[in-house]
Amino acid sequence: MLKVYNFKDLSRKGIEELCRRNVDPNNNIRTTVAEIIDHVKQKGDEALRLYAEKFDGIVLHKLFLDKEELKTIAAGAGEAEKNAIKLAYNNIKKFHETQLRAEEKIETTKGVICWREYRAIEKVGLYIPGGTAVLPSTFLMLGIPAILAGCKEIIVCSPPQKDGKVNAYLAFCAELLGIERIYLAGGAQAIAAMAYGTESIQKVDKIFGPGNQYVTKAKTMIQSESQTAIDMPAGPSEVLIIADDTANPEYVAADLLAQAEHGIDSQAVLVSDSRRIIDETSAELEKQLALLPRAEIASKAIAKSYAIYCSNLNEAMEFSNSYAPEHLILATDQWEAISPDIINAGSVFLGHLTPESAGDYASGTNHTLPTSSYARAYSGVSVDSFIKKITFQHISKEGIRNLGPAVEILASLEGLQAHKNAVSVRLKNNQTK
């Protein structure tokens, strides 16, 4: 069922081809998204209503749900589900709290003190996907670090469901997080609204959150022209599993399918030095797929996925680093020995009993992660994503005497006299006073 490539037969170009995903070769997505962005810029709320009708099949009179409405909707959430959400909330909070650490002040030269302080980004926009599946877990993954960082304005957008509302679990997350409003906007139009502002949605400084190819393309497009930053390109989910002979094919297949069921553009890759594991995982995939409610979606994603047969785990890791997966699972007893060789990955799951789903929901790490090989350069969302680190310095009398002459020379060698003067006038006063 999985198409198998032999690593040693792959040229460099062949590897590059296999690692390429979710490109938009004919610019179809770009063209659609550009139109949507333009329309939202020109027509504001009117465009949001039009797209809600076109893409989500709902005529919206009001574009948001307020605190009272969210409270009523949240009352429909069951106790077991609320308890699971609370457990996830506590673990995610515990893990993210450790990320807020003040840095030390450093005396770089006697009398010259430099340090960094963080300040929260004031206005942030969170996008919670809700097309093929509503993801309350994403609300926790974005809301918790935003609140820990101290962001003042948190705008939340999610596609309206068929009843023109959001589901009870999303509403319950809003209650837990103390977020009093959810805007009913999805797709590229929600991103454009947060980037440019409309009558009801205010422009934000940075947009966060995963989404399908339309959402991700919109994020990358608005960042170059709207003065709104983005967290990263966090598109269709993907997983790469390195599995050796110690792996359990039942677990490996289940982990591949867990990401495949997100959407038809998801990708699940198996890299193994064991032919047996590849064959048995393929058989397991067939078996498990047949039982999945979202089998149609998952089987389309699996059809675009593949396995790589390698001679050893070093080759497997070489392929994985080229692929730069959003999620990397090391399904081997050797995970401790090989994990230092990981160079590119969004989030890593070690050993046979660490399913990727644990990180998706409740272990504590963030599930908003770079896809499409952006894990080469981006990290997943964390509290850091919601803050800016500002540098400070203070120079004393002694400090300017020690540092000033070097700055004067450096300014001269760059031919920047005014820069030099800014030091010279102080040195002159410092000597005479």
Nearer to Zn ion, 244 or 360 (CB): 360
Contact between 21 and ligand HSO by CB under 6 A: the answer reads no
Range list of β-strands (E), 14-122: 64-65, 106-109, 112-120
Which positions are catalytic? Answer: 326-327
- Return the sign of the alpha-carbon dihedral for residues 27, 29, 33, 35: positive
Q: Is 334 annotated as a binding residue?
A: no
Nearer to ligand HSO, 73 or 88 (CB): 88
Contact between 360 and Zn ion by CB under 5 A: the answer reads yes
Contact criterion met (CB below 8 Å) for 229 and 220: no
Nearer to ligand NAD, 135 or 148 (CB): 135
- Name residues contacting ligand HSO, limited to 280-339 (CB under 6 A): 326
Contact between 135 and ligand HSO by CB under 6 A: the answer reads yes
Task: Provide, rounded to whole angstroms, the least separation between the CB of residue 314 and ligand NAD.
Answer: 28
Count of positions on this chain that bind ligand NAD (CB under 6 A)? 32
Contact criterion met (CB below 8 Å) for 162 and 190: no
Euclidean distance between CA atoms 408 and 428, whole angstroms: 12
Contact criterion met (CB below 8 Å) for 201 and 181: no
Strand partners of residue 119: 388
Region for residue 44 given its phi and psi (left: phi exceeds 0; alpha: psi -120 to 50; beta: otherwise): left
Contact between 338 and ligand NAD by CB under 6 A: the answer reads no
214, interface contact from ligand NAD, Zn ion, ligand HSO, none, CB < 5-8 Å by kind: ligand NAD
| Candidate list 125, 186, 325, 404; residue touching ligand NAD; CB under 6 A | 186
Q: Is 212 annotated as a binding residue?
A: yes
Contact criterion met (CB below 8 Å) for 218 and 204: no
Contact criterion met (CB below 8 Å) for 356 and 328: no
Task: Provide, rounded to whole angstroms, the least separation between the CB of residue 1 and ligand NAD.
Answer: 21
Euclidean distance between CA atoms 158 and 138, whole angstroms: 11
Q: Is 205 annotated as a binding residue?
A: no
- Return the sign of the alpha-carbon dihedral for residues 53, 217, 143, 197: negative
Contact between 265 and Zn ion by CB under 5 A: the answer reads no
User: In degrees rounded to 5, what are phi and psi of residue 411?
Assistant: -65, -40
Contact between 237 and ligand HSO by CB under 6 A: the answer reads yes
Near ligand HSO by CB under 6 A, which window of 32-40, 133-141, 391-399, 402-410? Answer: 133-141
Contact between 215 and ligand NAD by CB under 6 A: the answer reads yes
Nearer to ligand HSO, 137 or 212 (CB): 137
Contact between 63 and ligand NAD by CB under 6 A: the answer reads no
Euclidean distance between CA atoms 151 and 135, whole angstroms: 22
Residues in the chain: 433
- Name residues contacting ligand HSO, limited to 161-220 (CB under 6 A): none
Helices (H), 290-416: 295-303, 313-323, 335-338, 356-361, 397-413
Nearer to Zn ion, 265 or 273 (CB): 265
Q: Is 262 annotated as a binding residue?
A: yes
Euclidean distance between CA atoms 262 and 260, whole angstroms: 5
Pairing status of strand 112-120 against strand 106-109: antiparallel
Q: In terms of Cα–Cα distance, which of 337, 344, 36 is closest to 189?
A: 36
Task: Provide, rounded to whole angstroms, the least separation between the CB of residue 55 and ligand HSO.
Answer: 21
Contact between 197 and ligand NAD by CB under 6 A: the answer reads no
Q: Please tell me what DSSP assigns to residue 163.
A: T
Residue 254: C-alpha distances to residues 5, 291, 292, 309, 397 (Å): 21, 11, 11, 19, 66
> What 3-state class would DSSP assign to 431?
helix
Task: Provide, rounded to whole angstroms, the least separation between the CB of residue 59 and Zn ion.
Answer: 31
Q: Is 414 annotated as a binding residue?
A: yes
Contact between 234 and ligand NAD by CB under 6 A: the answer reads yes
Q: In terms of Cα–Cα distance, which of 239, 268, 262 is closest to 349?
A: 239
Contact criterion met (CB below 8 Å) for 362 and 81: no
Nearer to ligand HSO, 263 or 404 (CB): 263
| Candidate list 21, 39, 217, 262; residue touching ligand NAD; CB under 6 A | 262
- Residue nearest ligand HSO by beta-carbon distance: 237
32, interface contact from ligand HSO, Zn ion, ligand NAD, none, CB < 5-8 Å by kind: ligand NAD
Binding positions for substrate are 237, 259, 262, 327, 360, 414, 419
Contact footprint for Zn ion (CB under 5 A): 360
Binding positions are 127, 189, 212, 237, 259, 262, 327, 360, 414, 419
Contact footprint for ligand NAD (CB under 6 A): 32, 51, 55-56, 129-133, 135, 138, 159, 186-188, 210-212, 214-215, 234-237, 262-263, 266, 326, 367-369, 371
Contact footprint for ligand HSO (CB under 6 A): 135, 137-138, 237, 259, 326, 360, 367
